[in-house]
Each structure stands twice: as C-alpha cells, then as structure tokens.
C-alpha cells in the first residue's frame, strides 16, 4: 500500500478539494483525509502510479507538492537535519563573509558547492580562508541579527520529540551556529565543523577532520546504532549535494527547497511547504502538532 500526500505553503494555503478529488479518481485512490484545512490532504493507493513525475511537474505549476510513498512505517523515530537553508533560512558562512567584505565571492562558491559542482571540503577550506582576521565577536552579531529560523521548525521538533523521536542537527557549517540553533529548536544533539580562532580573530581555518557528506552518513549510522533503531526509522532533510548521502540512506529522505541537481536525485521533494511538511509526510494532522 502507498499513500499520496498533497501539500501547499501553510502561509498561503491553496489546496482545493476538486484538485485532490481529481487526482484521487484518476489514480483509483481511497478516501481523502484532510491533514490540514486547504493545506494538506492524503489518500491511499494500491501501487505507485506510473505517471507520478509528470503529475508532480504539473502540480508544481500550481504551487502544490506531491509525495507518494509506502504507507508502512511512515512515522519515524529520529530526525536527522541539515542546518543551513534547511533549519535556518541563511547560509552561515555567507553571512560571515558579508561582515568580512567578501560576501559575493563566498556566496558564489557556496552555491556551486551546494549544487555539487565543487568538492565540499575544498570549497569550505577556500571560503573559511577568506574569513581570516575576522573578529570572533562577529559570530554573535550574525547569530543575533542575521539568522532566521525556517518556518515550521519548532512545530516539527516539538511534535516529533513529544512522540518519542530523537533529533540530530548535522551540518557542514560551524558549531558556533549549530549549538545555538539546536538549543533554540530543541535538538538532542548537534554536529558541525569548528572554526579556529587565536587572540579573538579567526585564523582562516577549521578543525580537522572536516565534517562533510560522509560525516553526515556516519552520524546516521552511529546514532541509529546507539539508539537501537534502524536507518529505516529515520527521516532526514537537507537541500545541498553534501546531504545526498544521508537522504539516500534514511528511511525517508526529504529534499527541502533543494538545489535542482539535488532534488532530481530524491524521490521526496518539498518546494512549497515549510518544515511542517515533514509532519504531514509522516501522516500527522495539524491537530496533532505540538505547540511551538
């Protein structure tokens, strides 16, 4: 058995019953269940439809996300999340670079690295090198003035954790940011790279070994082993090329507002919903969301 879920932006919900009914009828689906009024609905299917991606593309033009997945074991016991442009709206290194006066150059490298055009480790070393000499206090300034949480994040964390799930924030960014974001959102643990500083100034380097794509996979492996759960019990979310390993290994891998080259490699893509989409994908209704 499969389930088809249709989602829209909860900030401007536009999901119409006629659209859901039309798709359900075309695919011979079961009863429609509304998870969120005008925002999210689902229905069961006997098998995955052969024209899924053609329909998906058509619905994208209507600002509607479509996910088809097996019904079994939808609700997960662990959340594994990227940070930059996933749990927060910014790329932390780009914000630091703006303060250092090298914003445009670093943003270009970041975009290419996240799109898979550049080696992640090399791109990180190059970008951090451009921050050499930046006052360490700028990190707090960026955290306080520039970093904004992605909509739906607190509801996602509070709901999953209230239902017994474990939450891990794993980033190719920096611990100075993941520690604050993890505390703000309620993650159980966080992993990231450490910016090096001497006498209050960034040295232009990071502590080795560098956490990148493989380290995110290792986080998936080590935490699930420690918790005594399987990788199938995990829902992972990210947007960049360095997230593809964990997205492919997790039971449910969600490409959230991802780079096109990343999204095309993932079977679950959310381009219009916010982080609460990860709850709808698991079958939670809005009435079950924990208070943010």
Q: Is 17 left (phi over 0), alpha (psi -120 to 50) or beta?
A: alpha
As a whole number of angstroms, the distance between CA 160 and CA 71 comes to 18
Helix axes 138-145, 92-100, angle to 10 degrees: 120
Q: From the candidates 65, 82, 94, 239, which is the catalytic residue?
A: 82
As a whole number of angstroms, the distance between CA 103 and CA 3 comes to 44
Enter the DSSP assignment of 271: S
Q: From the candidates 65, 84, 94, 233, which is the catalytic residue?
A: 84
Tell me if residue 82 is catalytic. Answer: yes
Tell me if residue 108 is catalytic. Answer: no
Q: Taken in order 291, 246, 70, 25, is the CA torsion positive or negative?
A: positive
Which residues are marked as active site? 82, 84
């Amino acid at each position: 058995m499969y389930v088809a879920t249709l989602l829209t932006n909860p900030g401007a919900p536009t999901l119409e019953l006629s659209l859901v009914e039309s798709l359900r009828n075309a695919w011979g689906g079961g009863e429609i269940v509304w998870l969120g009024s005008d925002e999210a609905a689902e229905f069961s299917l006997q098998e995955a439809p052969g024209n899924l991606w053609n329909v998906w593309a058509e619905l994208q033009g209507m600002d509607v996300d479509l996910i088809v997945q097996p019904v079994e074991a939808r609700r997960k016991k662990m959340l594994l999340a990227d940070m930059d442009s996933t749990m927060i709206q910014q790329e932390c290194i780009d914000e630091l670079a703006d303060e250092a006066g090298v914003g445009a150059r670093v943003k270009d490298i970041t975009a290419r690295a996240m799109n898979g055009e550049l080696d992640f480790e090399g791109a990180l070393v190059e970008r951090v090198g451009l921050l050499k000499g930046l006052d360490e206090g700028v990190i707090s300034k960026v955290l306080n003035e520039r970093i904004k949480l992605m909509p739906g994040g607190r509801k996602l964390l509070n709901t999953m954790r209230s239902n017994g799930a474990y939450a891990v924030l794993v980033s190719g960014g920096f611990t100075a940011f993941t520690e604050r974001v993890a505390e703000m959102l309620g993650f159980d643990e966080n992993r990231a790279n450490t910016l090096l500083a001497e006498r209050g100034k960034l040295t232009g380097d990071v502590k080795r070994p560098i956490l990148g794509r493989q380290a995110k996979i290792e986080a998936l492996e080590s935490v699930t082993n420690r918790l005594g759960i399987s990788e199938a019990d995990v829902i992972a979310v990210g947007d960049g090329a360095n997230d593809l390993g964990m997205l492919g290994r997790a039971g449910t891998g969600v490409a959230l507002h991802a780079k096109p080259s990343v999204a095309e490699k993932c079977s679950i893509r959310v381009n219009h919903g916010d982080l609460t989409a990860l709850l709808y994908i698991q079958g939670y209704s809005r009435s079950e969301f924990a208070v943010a």
